[in-house]
Structure 1
Amino acid sequence: MTANSAHRKFEDFHDTARPTVAMEVDYPSGAVTGWHSHPRAQLLYAIDGVMLVDSAAGFWVVPPNRALWLVAGVRHSVRMSGAVRMRTAYIDAERLGDLPERTCVLNVSPLLRELMVEAVRVPVDYAERGRDGTLMGLLIHELRRAATLPLHLPMPEDSRLKAVCEALAEKPSDAATAQVWAERLGVAAKTIHRLFQKETGMSFAQWREQARLLFALRRIAEGARVVDIAFDCGYSSQSAFAAMFRRHFGVPPSGFRGGDAIEDTGSRRL
């Protein structure tokens, strides 16, 4: 299916009175949806492959067993890393209520995964009081229980800081300090620190570590060796990288590759 035909299909799924509808679409590796938005909230999930989602608010990495909750109206573009088997639900969040108010990555439980797989087989205009309506209702109940995960990289609006962030995201092994970046930009180091906190809600060090984490998640999901990922992220050893990874996610890189659930170590319902 081409990107244009996929978008036409998306539009068909918004034109329904049902509060929740689901569809499936597969993409080859490297495919890009292009910038678009939806009038409903979207639960974006892939059985296989990694989705790299970009928006004005930042960047998300969405590997298997995780899903991205996109609030209605958010302009975004999705790039596929590996062949992606996408299963997505469009949800009238205002009508249903008690759903995340911000875009975030969610942990997908085994039950939620099976519900998503089955939901795409449900007709758009299903009987709400029958089996199909019950299935969709259970999907929403399970979605409300899902934990949010820290897989978001906020991007700044300030042009100077944006140049720094784009460089670090492109080359996470770059060890240049805030002082070095300040000298490159012709500003004081305290300006760099102030801008990071104001524009991203993170310190310079926190943002760089988050960029490294998301880079690592993508590379792990793609099957790269952990030792290579560690060096590409700027760590001097595989053990140092593994310790950082476990501190953030509660599992080692090898556990993530095996599909272990990431612990909710610092996330919250949004």
Structure 2
Amino acid sequence: MDTSRKPKALAQALQEIDELPSPVSGRATDYPANWHIAPHLHARHQLIYAVRGVMVVQTEVGRWVVPPTRAIWMVAGMTHEIRCIGEVHMRSVTVATDAASGLPGFTQAVGISPLLRELIRAAMDLSQPELSDLSDLPYIPDSRDGRVMRLILDEIRVLPVLPLHLQMPSDPRLLQICELLQQHLDDTSTMADWAQRLAVDVKTIQRLFVKETGMTFGQWRQQARLLRALELLASGEKVIDIALALGYDSPSAFSTMFRKQFDQTPSQFFAEN
């Protein structure tokens, strides 16, 4: 059964999601290349998963780059927007906040196991997105279909967290550094260089970086480069061009960094799709 649909008015889609009667429900939507989903929030948790394409998810606490075989667990009530890199086939699971105990309490990038991938596909067939009466449950809780949905909850509880997040600081001095770096990721300025430009003590900036982002300056810049690399790889850019654009001395230096983070080369990472 083809459950994919064209993007519809955001307000209508939000109302449909938040009024779903079942505690767990699947939802399928296909988005064209470069589609932008404007900032919004849900009263339900969401497991946002794309079987095709790469999503860039932005919230007030940071940004995630999410390729296929990965997903975002978006907690209820968090405002977010999504930018599609290439055509995106989104297969989301929405979860009522009282559906189960032990669900993740933070928005985070997660891995999708082969079992959960198949369960998500099954959820698309069970949820019947165009219900004529939203008071009707699309499946009986104490049934095979209901057990499939409960198994999804079990899998969500043990999702592995992935390093696909870029935490943005709130301190205006650090925010200035981070915003400029994201515009010029090939910038090789040191922490001392930035401290001199901003007339701030180096140790102060170092301390604030760790406090507000959980990373050192060098780690933050590497993470920003890594996430941008995922976007460029998904767009079909060559590794040599990505390496030079992000300030690496050579493609091998970039590939070494990538392998250290994901235990895979860039080509292996996207071959999983």
TM-score, normalized by length of structure 2?
A: 0.89
Aligned residue in 2 for 1:217:
230
Aligned residue in 2 for 1:138:
151
How far, CA to CA, are the matches of 1:139 and 1:65 in structure 2?
16
Structure 2: tracts of 5 or more residues without a match: 129-136
1:27 aligns with 2:31: yes
1:123 aligns with 2:121: no
How many equivalent residue pairs? 260
Map 1:106-117 to 2 at 5 A.
Answer: 106-117=110-121
Kindly name which structure, 1 or 2, has the bigger radius of gyration based on alpha carbons: 2
How far, CA to CA, are the matches of 2:96 and 2:271 in structure 1?
34
Q: Is the 8 A contact 1:3 1:33 kept in 2?
A: no
- Report % sequence identity: 43
Aligned residue in 2 for 1:68:
72
Aligned residue in 2 for 1:50:
54
How far, CA to CA, are the matches of 2:117 and 2:154 in structure 1?
13
1:195 aligns with 2:208: yes
- Quote the RMSD (CA, aligned, Å): 1.8
Aligned residue in 2 for 1:264:
none
SS at match of 1:198: helix
- Amino acid in structure 2 at the alignment position of 1:141: D
Aligned residue in 1 for 2:167:
154
Aligned residue in 2 for 1:243:
256
How far, CA to CA, are the matches of 2:10 and 2:272 in structure 1?
28
How far, CA to CA, are the matches of 2:169 and 2:11 in structure 1?
29
Q: CA shift at 1:4, angstroms?
A: 5.5
Q: CA shift at 1:173, angstroms?
A: 1.3
CA pair 121-7 structure 1, distance change in 2 beyond 3 A: farther
SS at match of 2:81: strand
How far, CA to CA, are the matches of 2:223 and 2:112 in structure 1?
21
Q: CA shift at 1:209, angstroms?
A: 0.7
Deviations 1:58-104 (A, max 9, x none): 00001111000011111111111111111111112443112211111
Structure 1: tracts of 5 or more residues without a match: 261-270
How far, CA to CA, are the matches of 1:119 and 1:2 in structure 2?
19
Map 1:78-97 to 2 at 5 A.
Answer: 78-97=82-101
- Amino acid in structure 2 at the alignment position of 1:165: C
- Amino acid in structure 2 at the alignment position of 1:190: K
TM-score, normalized by length of structure 1?
A: 0.90
